[in-house]
Chains A and B, each alone.
Chain A
Amino acid sequence: MIDDTASGAYALGALSAAELETFEERLHSSEDLRSEVAGFTDTAAMLGEAVPAVTPPAALRDNLLALIETTPQNASPVEQPQLQAPDAVTSHSRASHRAGDAPVASLDEARHRRRGGPRRFAAGLVAAAAAIALFAGGIAVGNGLGEDTDAEQFAAISAAADLDRVDTVLPAGGTVSLMASADLALTAVVFHDMEPLPANEIYQAWYVRDGVPVSAGILPVEAGDRYLVLDEGYRSSDTVALTVEPAGGSEQPTTDPIVFADERSA
């Protein structure tokens, strides 16, 4: 029987494959256990460092450098979404539901579905809801990894002892990670592998309250991950939404959004 006293064995690699699975399920449900195992894992790594280092043959290095030329890399892992499956959509219905306001199935559709004029944002929302609470805080809207303040905050969130994280696959591809720390009262929204946009388009983030969107900043166009630290403009009842806009951003969203909702408002 595998119970919590197997934590030492686990960290030392002494559980069998089947036992590992059982124990890891246990880990998911107990923060105390996770904390203990984290300490043991660091300790075990030190046992690893106690062994004298030995330089491998040079051929090994050559082989590896050749291999990585043709070996693809994997994107960061996606946890099981706590809520709906990736391709499920939730549309918020409204009294004056227009014919063109069907839920958006892909970013392509969203991009091409430009809105005529100002109207209520709540129409045609695609919900990729998150299972963690989002916190307001921070000093400035994230502009990408170049901004010191944002990078510091993002690093702080990443390193937070109480980091809570949920990854959600978006219907159109790409992953959104919501990383929150209650201790720091900060949340970052990280976008992975987002669909690349043409040069004249950008992703813009919005806080949506009572159906009205407020700009939360533009995500940078460079490749790789982009993130947004929710600033003090964010209120806990807001949903966070993402749209495709012309370069420079828009006052109001001009395309249908992809949204991420706070669990407390979902």
Chain B
Amino acid sequence: MLVLVAERDDGSPAPDAVASREDLLAQIARGDRGAFAQFYDLTAARVFGLVRRILIDEAQSEEVTQEIFLEIWQNASHYSPAKGSAMTWVLTMTHGRAVDRIRASQSRRDRDLRVGIRDYEREYDQVAERVEISLENERVKKALEQLTELQREAITLAYYGGRTHSEIAEILHIPIGTVKTRLRDGMIRLRDAMGVTA
């Protein structure tokens, strides 16, 4: 049974948590299972939410979420604060794993490519809708509005649709070079609009 988590998670630790996510990862790297459980409780809903959005399928989403946390357990030592925040590390891994699963399921990709334009429009609307109703994400929503529609659709297809840029080129009937440029220009705008400093 799925429970929608109240949209209050802004990335800060739960009130009664003393350790930050970064600290917990360091503890997990030393084999601390209690820290792992704490880390799971702080991040699992975020991870599962993203995986579900990308994979749609419930069972696969659970599998991939489990894979991700197992990888966090195994490779916590690979994380260091120099790499960025713990959530960035986790979500980057999450997105990567979800996309791997998409790429691995050949039949879905082929089917989706045949569906083409209709499919991407559906995905784009879904995301736009979710961004509308997701209260905590004013920042992202406003930032996305700063992109051109073409940039928004390319980024949506890539990030939330898990498409390769070749697939995006096919779906949109544009050259691959154009896709790359839109993705890059879009990310530049998004990055600047959200105040990310490299």
Instruction: List residues of chain A with CB under 8 Å of any chain B CB.
Output: 5-9, 11-17, 35-36, 38-57, 60-61, 63-65, 67-69, 71-77, 155, 158-160, 163, 224
- List 16 interface pairs A-B (beta carbons < 8 Å), by A numbering: A6-B184, A8-B183, A14-B158, A14-B165, A15-B165, A41-B84, A45-B85, A46-B140, A48-B46, A51-B50, A51-B130, A51-B134, A56-B65, A60-B62, A61-B41, A64-B70
B137 interfacial contact with A, CB 8 Å? yes
B5 and A38 form a contact (CB under 8 A): no
A73 and B77 form a contact (CB under 8 A): yes
One digit per residue, 1 when the CB lies within 8 angstroms of any chain A CB and 0 when it does not, for chain B 43-60 equals 011101110110000000
- B interface secondary structure, majority: helix
Min Cβ gap B18→A in Å is: 17
B190 interfacial contact with A, CB 8 Å? yes
B181 and A5 form a contact (CB under 8 A): yes
The verdict on A60 contacting B44 (CB below 8 Å), with A14-B165, A49-B11, A65-B37 known, is yes
- A interface secondary structure, majority: helix
A12 and B159 form a contact (CB under 8 A): yes
B3 and A54 form a contact (CB under 8 A): yes
The distance in angstroms between the C-alpha atoms of A65 and B70, with both chains bound, is 9
Q: Contact check: which of A9, A35, A42, A75 meets B158 at CB < 8 Å?
A: A9
B62 and A14 form a contact (CB under 8 A): no
A72 and B74 form a contact (CB under 8 A): yes
Residues of chain A within 8 A (CB-CB) of B88 are: 41-42, 45
The distance in angstroms between the C-alpha atoms of A61 and B188, with both chains bound, is 37
Min Cβ gap B141→A in Å is: 7
Residues of chain B within 8 A (CB-CB) of A53 are: 4-5, 7, 9, 45-46, 48-49
Instruction: List residues of chain B with CB under 8 Å of any chain A CB.
Output: 1-5, 7, 9, 11, 29-31, 33, 36-37, 40-41, 44-46, 48-50, 52-53, 62, 65-66, 69-70, 73-78, 80-82, 84-85, 87-88, 91-92, 94-96, 99, 103, 130-131, 133-134, 136-137, 139-141, 155, 158-160, 162-166, 168, 177, 179-188, 190-191, 194, 196-198
Q: Contact check: which of B73, B81, B165 meets A158 at CB < 8 Å?
A: B81
B75 and A74 form a contact (CB under 8 A): yes
Question: Which chain B residue shows the least CB distance to A73?
Answer: B74
The verdict on A5 contacting B74 (CB below 8 Å), with A12-B155, A48-B95, A160-B82 known, is no
The distance in angstroms between the C-alpha atoms of A47 and B131, with both chains bound, is 10
B82 and A159 form a contact (CB under 8 A): yes
**Interface contacts beyond A43-B194, A53-B9, A56-B45: sample of 17 additional A-B pairs, CB < 8 Å, sorted by A:** A5-B181, A36-B198, A42-B198, A43-B190, A43-B191, A45-B91, A47-B140, A49-B136, A51-B53, A53-B45, A54-B2, A57-B62, A60-B44, A64-B73, A71-B70, A76-B29, A77-B78
Min Cβ gap B66→A in Å is: 6
Residues of chain A within 8 A (CB-CB) of B29 are: 73, 76
Q: Top 9 closest A-B pairs, CB basis? A: A8-B184, A39-B198, A8-B183, A53-B45, A48-B91, A14-B158, A12-B158, A50-B140, A45-B88
